[in-house]
Amino acid sequence: MSLLCLGLEGTAHSFGAGVVSSKGEVLSNIWHMLSPAEGGIHPREASRHHSDMGPGIIRRSLEEAGISHNEIQLVSFSRGPGLGPCLRTTATMARTLAQKLSVPLIGVNHCVAHIEIGCLESGFEDPVTIYASGGNTQVIAFAGGRFRTFGETLDIALGNMLDVFGRTIGMSFPAGPSIERKAAEGVEYHQLPYSVKGMDLSYSGMLTAAKKLHLEGVPIADICLSIQETAFGMLAEVAERAVAHTKKNELLLTGGVARNNRLTEILEGVAERHGASFHRVSPPLAGDQGAMIAWTGILQHQAGDELPISDSHVMPKWRTDEQDIIWRRKL
Amino acid sequence: MAHRRTGHNLEAQTLKKQLLTLGAESAIYKVEYWGRTLALKWRPIKPYLHNEIDKLLRTSRTSRECKMLTFVRTLGVPTPAVYSVDISNHLILMDFIEGQQFKQLASVSSKKRITTLCREFGKLLGTMHMSDVVHGDPTTSNAVVDTQSKMWLVDFGLAEKNATIEMKGVDMHLLRRAYETTHWDLQETMLESTMDGYIDISGDNAEPVLTRANKIRERGRYH
- List pLDDT tens digits, range A275-286: 999 999 999 999
The tens digit of pLDDT for each residue in A80-99 reads: 999 999 999 999 999 999 99
Average pLDDT, chain A: 95
Q: Angle of helix A204-215 relative to helix A158-168, nearest 10 degrees? A: 20
Number of structural domains found in chain A = 2
Same domain, B75 and B118: no
Q: Examine the fold and report which residue of B65, B95, B125 is the final residue of a domain before the chain moves on.
A: B95
Q: How many domains does chain B have?
A: 2
Q: Are residue B139 and residue B56 in the same domain, yes or no?
A: no
Confidence label for A329 from pLDDT (cuts 50, 70 and 90):
confident
User: Residue A36 above 90 pLDDT?
Assistant: no
Tell whether B103 and B213 lie within a shared domain.
Answer: yes
Same domain, A251 and A296: no
CB contact under 8 A, A273 and B46: yes
Average pLDDT, chain B: 91
Are A266 and B48 in contact (CB < 8 Å)? yes
Instruction: Respond yes or no: is residue B204 known to be catalytic.
Output: no
B217 shares contact with chain A (CB less than 8 Å): no
Pair A19, A144 in one domain: no
B173 touches A: beta carbon within 8 Å: yes
* Mean pLDDT to the nearest integer, B147-167: 97
- pLDDT of the residue at B48: 97
Considering the domain architecture, whether residues A126 and A267 belong to the same structural domain is answered as yes
| B60 pLDDT more than 50 | yes
Backbone angles phi, psi at A33, to 5 degrees: -110, 135
pLDDT, residue A328, reads: 95
Residue B4 confidence (pLDDT): 44
Q: B138 to chain A: nearest residue by CA? A: A198
DSSP secondary structure letter of residue A139 = E
The domain that holds B62 is classified in CATH as 3.30.200.20
Do both B132 and B41 map to the same domain?
A: no
According to the model, what pLDDT value does residue B9 have?
Answer: 65
**Residue A286, pLDDT score:** 95
Give the CATH number for residue B109: 1.10.510.10
B177 vs A198: CB contact, 8 Å cut-off?
Answer: yes
Residues A156, A46 within the same domain? no
Rounded Cα distance between A227 and A181, Å, is: 13
Is the complex ipTM higher than 0.85?
yes
Dihedral sign of CA atoms A182, A188, A193, A198 in order: positive
The Cβ of residue A192 has, within 10 Å, a number of other Cβ atoms equal to 24
Q: B191 and B140 share a domain?
A: yes
Query: Which residues on chain B are in Cβ contact (under 8 Å) with A148?
Result: 180-181, 184
* B153: containing domain: 99-218
Q: Single out the catalytic residue among B54, B86, B95, B137.
A: B137
Q: Which of B178, B38, B33, B158 is nearest to B95 (CA)?
A: B38
A187 plus A256 within the same structural domain: yes
Residues A228 and A105 in one domain: no
Contact A155 B220 (CB under 8 A): yes
CB contacts of B137 in chain A (<8 Å) are 197-198
Q: Which of A200, A266, A268 should be substituted to probe chain B, the one whose Cβ sees the most B Cβ atoms within 10 Å?
A: A200
- In sequence order, the 6+-apart residues with CB closer than 8 A to the CB of B136 are A197, A198, B156, B157, B158, B159, B160, B171
Range of lowest pLDDT (A194-203, A242-251, B12-21):
B12-21
Mutate one of B181, B185, B186 to test the A interface: name it (highest A CB count within 10 A).
B181
Residue A213 burial (CB count, 10 A): 18
Q: Are residues B109 and B204 in the same domain?
A: yes
From the CA of B148, how many Å to the nearest CA of chain A?
Answer: 26
Same domain, B160 and B85: no
Confirm whether B90 is domain-assigned.
yes
Q: Are residues A126 and A103 in the same domain?
A: no
Question: Would the pLDDT of B2 be above 50?
Answer: no
Span A256-272, mean pLDDT? 97
Domain stops at, among B95, B115, B133 = B95
Indicate yes or no: CB of A82 within 8 angstroms of CB of B177.
no
Write the pLDDT tens digit of every residue in B64-102.
999 999 999 999 999 999 999 999 999 999 999 999 999
- Indicate whether this model's pTM tops 0.90: yes
Q: Is the pLDDT of residue A59 over 90?
A: yes
Reported as type and span, the H/E element at residue B102 is helix B102-106
My answer on whether B204 and B104 are in the same domain is yes
Share of chain B above pLDDT 70, in %: 91
Mean pLDDT of A192-203: 96
Q: Assess whether B70 and B145 both reside in one domain.
A: no
Q: Do A149 and B47 touch (CB under 8 A)?
A: no
For range A226-232, the mean pLDDT: 98
Tell me if A301 sits within 8 A of A5, measured CB to CB. yes
- B116 contact A CB<8A: no
Query: Which domain CATH number covers A163?
Result: 3.30.420.40
Residue at B36: amino acid letter: R
Residue A238: closest C-alpha in chain B:
B24
**What was the pLDDT predicted at B16?**
67
Beta bridge partners of B86: B7, B91
Q: Enumerate the residues of chain B whose CB falls inside 8 A of the CB of residue A156.
A: 220
- With a cut of 70, say whether residue B151 has pLDDT above it: yes
User: What residues in A contact B178, CB-CB < 8 Å?
Assistant: 198
CB nearest to A237's CB, from B25, B52, B138: B25
Report the chain B residue with the minimal C-alpha distance to residue A140: B181
Burial of A170 (0-12, 13-18, 19+ CB in 10 A): exposed
pLDDT value for A41: 77
Give the model's pLDDT for residue B217: 87
Q: Which residues of A touch B107 (CB under 8 A)?
A: none
Q: How confident is the model at residue B5 (pLDDT cuts 50, 70, 90)?
A: very low
Distance from the Cα of A180 to chain B's closest Cα (Å) equals: 15
Residues A18 and A109 in one domain: yes
Compute the count of residue pairs across chains A and B with CB atoms less than 8 Å apart: 107
Q: Which of B61, B95, B129 is the last residue of a domain?
A: B95
Question: Per-residue pLDDT averaged across A248-263, rounded?
Answer: 97
Q: Lowest mean pLDDT: which of A1-5, A18-22, A127-131?
A: A1-5
Q: Which domain holds residue A142?
A: 116-284
Cβ-defined contact of B170 to A243 (cutoff 8 Å) = no
Per-residue pLDDT averaged across A145-154, rounded? 95
A198 has pLDDT over 80 = yes
Asked whether residue B160 is domain-assigned, the answer is: yes
Q: Considering only A165-179, A290-304, B113-127, which range has the smallest mean pLDDT? A: A165-179
